């Protein structure tokens, strides 16, 4: 129990701690883009770098070698913290009708969540796709239950990528619908593809806040778990540096997503958030992967969480699925947390190493 309470407390104060991790990342050439050109490396150095990061300039053969090395080097994500969650908290989620609207990253998350449920079957969560119920009209066949007719985590698509405002409107409309009245908890996970260098972050955030506040004024008992935006692997190699010079590439888009995520945390508080960005950027050693854009460092998808195409690998899927599970049980954990067990975190002074 102490482990899970400490984990929750760490997440609540992750923004403060991440500033220290970002400073540590500046000295890491993988984050800061300070690796030498391939032509200057020895075979041993090339072998090492392929195990740490995927560059946009790799050949298919190099990418295949790097992926293989990554699978051998990185252990499966530690989910032992979930063993500290009381059975009553798993049961609290089992008794709810949860709606999870998502895009491509959500599919990877669900793969990780199913893997966790296979390893921890006592969690007992039921996951079904929206519209998955049988629709047979043959004589004697029972009528299909409504999508949210029984307690379960119901997952479904958000809509077309690239139009986040329409996704927000569709999400709110679903919760206002007749079938949506049955939903107890809802999560909207926007896609990384919904953010470009031209995205008006402040306008999108204001639209989301207004839509959710209006909905909550009508349904006070509905719990909304606000999700941060998924991240991308840092730009690397010659092509990555050129994109960065002209204000393009993954690093600048990560800055856009980071701005939205900071606004979301400030608006709703970290205790009400499924922080997928935090899970994606946290490396196996506990440090944060970040990129330098202008004078600011922004979180990025840790290379060990991604395959050679920049998509979540098994390690990344476990990381975000664990964060998702903690977000769902957090209200129960906080309700059971005795006052004397609360952890006091002293903010960092931000001093250099």
Please give the radius of gyration of the chain, using alpha carbons only, rounded to the nearest integer: 21
Residue 349 domain flag: no
> Distances from the Cα of 301 to the Cαs of 200, 205, 275, 341, in angstroms?
22, 22, 13, 33
Higher pLDDT, 27 or 304: 304
User: Residue 118's CB: how many other CB atoms inside 10 A?
Assistant: 8
Residue 350 domain flag: no
Give the pLDDT of residue 76.
52
Residue 139 domain flag: no
DSSP 211-230: HHHHHHHH-TT-EEEEEPPP
Name the domain count of the chain. 1
Give the pLDDT of residue 326.
96
Give the pLDDT of residue 183.
97
d(CA 268, CA 209): 9
Name 99's bridge partners: 154, 186
Residue 43 domain flag: yes
pLDDT of residue 7 exceeding 90, the answer is no
Residue 225 domain flag: yes
pLDDT of residue 21 exceeding 80, the answer is no
pLDDT of residue 57 exceeding 60, the answer is no
Higher pLDDT, 44 or 10: 10
Mean pLDDT of the chain: 77
In terms of residue numbers, what domain contains 6? 2-130+148-341
Q: Provide mean pLDDT across the span 246-268.
A: 87
Give the pLDDT of residue 235.
81
pLDDT of residue 67 exceeding 60, the answer is no
pLDDT of residue 239 exceeding 90, the answer is no
Residue 132: exposed, middle, or buried by beta-carbon count in 10 A (0-12, 13-18, 19+)?
Answer: middle
Determine which of 49-63, 149-163, 284-298, 339-353 has the lowest per-residue pLDDT on average: 49-63
Higher pLDDT, 40 or 311: 311
Residue 142 domain flag: no
* CATH code, domain with 291: 3.40.50.1110
Residue 138 domain flag: no
Give the pLDDT of residue 6.
55
Give the pLDDT of residue 16.
40
Give the pLDDT of residue 201.
97
Percent pLDDT > 90 in the chain is 55
pLDDT in tens, 183-197: 999 999 999 999 988
Q: Which of 32-36, 206-210, 309-313 has the highest mean pLDDT?
A: 206-210
pLDDT in tens, 106-151: 999 999 999 999 999 999 999 999 876 544 445 555 565 678 989 9
Q: Any idea what DSSP says for residue 150?
A: S
Nearest CA to 302 out of 290, 314, 292 is that of 290
Give the pLDDT of residue 350.
37
Give the pLDDT of residue 103.
93
Q: Please give the model's pTM, rounded to 2 decimal places.
A: 0.72
pLDDT in tens, 269-322: 988 999 999 999 999 888 999 998 888 999 999 999 999 999 999 999 999 999
Give rounded-to-5 percent helix, strand, coil for the chain.
55, 10, 35
Give the pLDDT of residue 79.
87
User: Residue 6's CB: how many other CB atoms inside 10 A?
Assistant: 15
Question: DSSP alpha helices (H): ranges in 158-313?
Answer: 164-176, 201-218, 237-245, 250-268, 276-281
Handedness of CA 339, 342, 346, 348 (dihedral sign): negative
Give the pLDDT of residue 256.
94
Longest dimension (CA), the chain: 74
Residue 351 domain flag: no
Q: How confident is the model at residue 249 (pLDDT cuts 50, 70, 90)?
A: low
* CB-based contact 192:232 (threshold 8 Å): yes
pLDDT in tens, 71-96: 334 345 688 899 999 999 999 999 99
């Amino acid at each position: 129990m102490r482990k899970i309470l400490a984990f929750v407390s760490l997440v609540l104060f992750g923004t403060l701690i991440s500033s220290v991790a970002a400073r540590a990342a500046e000295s890491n050439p993988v984050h800061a883009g300070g690796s030498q050109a391939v032509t200057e490396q020895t075979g041993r150095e090339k072998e090492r770098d392929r195990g740490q990061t995927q560059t946009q300039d790799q050949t298919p053969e190099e990418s295949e070698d790097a992926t293989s090395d990554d699978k051998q080097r990185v252990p499966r994500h530690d989910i032992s913290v979930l063993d500290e969650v009381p059975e009553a908290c798993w049961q609290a989620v089992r008794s709810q009708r949860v709606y999870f609207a998502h895009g491509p990253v959500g599919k990877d998350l669900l793969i990780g969540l199913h893997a966790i449920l296979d390893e921890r079957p006592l969690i007992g969560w039921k996951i079904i796709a929206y519209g998955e119920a049988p629709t047979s009209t043959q004589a004697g066949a029972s009528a299909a239950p409504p999508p949210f007719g029984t307690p379960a985590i119901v997952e479904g698509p958000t809509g077309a990528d690239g139009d986040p405002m329409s996704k927000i409107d569709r999400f709110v409309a679903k919760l206002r619908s007749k079938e949506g009245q049955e939903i107890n908890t809802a999560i909207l996970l926007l896609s990384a593809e919904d953010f470009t260098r031209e995205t008006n972050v402040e306008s999108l955030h204001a639209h989301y806040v207004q839509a959710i506040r209006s909905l909550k004024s009508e349904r006070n008992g509905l719990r909304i778990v606000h999700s941060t935006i998924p991240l991308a692997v840092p730009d690397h190699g010659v092509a990555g540096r050129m994109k960065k010079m002209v204000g393009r590439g993954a690093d600048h888009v990560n800055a856009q997503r980071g701005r939205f995520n900071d606004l979301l945390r400030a608006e709703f508080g970290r205790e009400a958030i499924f922080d997928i960005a935090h899970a994606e950027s946290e490396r196996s050693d506990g440090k944060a992967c970040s990129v330098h854009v202008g004078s600011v460092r922004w979180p990025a998808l840790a290379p060990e969480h991604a395959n050679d195409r920049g998509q979540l690998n098994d390690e990344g899927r476990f990381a975000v699925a664990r964060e998702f599970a903690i977000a769902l049980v957090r209200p129960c954990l906080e309700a059971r947390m005795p006052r004397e067990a609360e952890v006091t975190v002293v903010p960092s002074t931000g001093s250099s190493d």
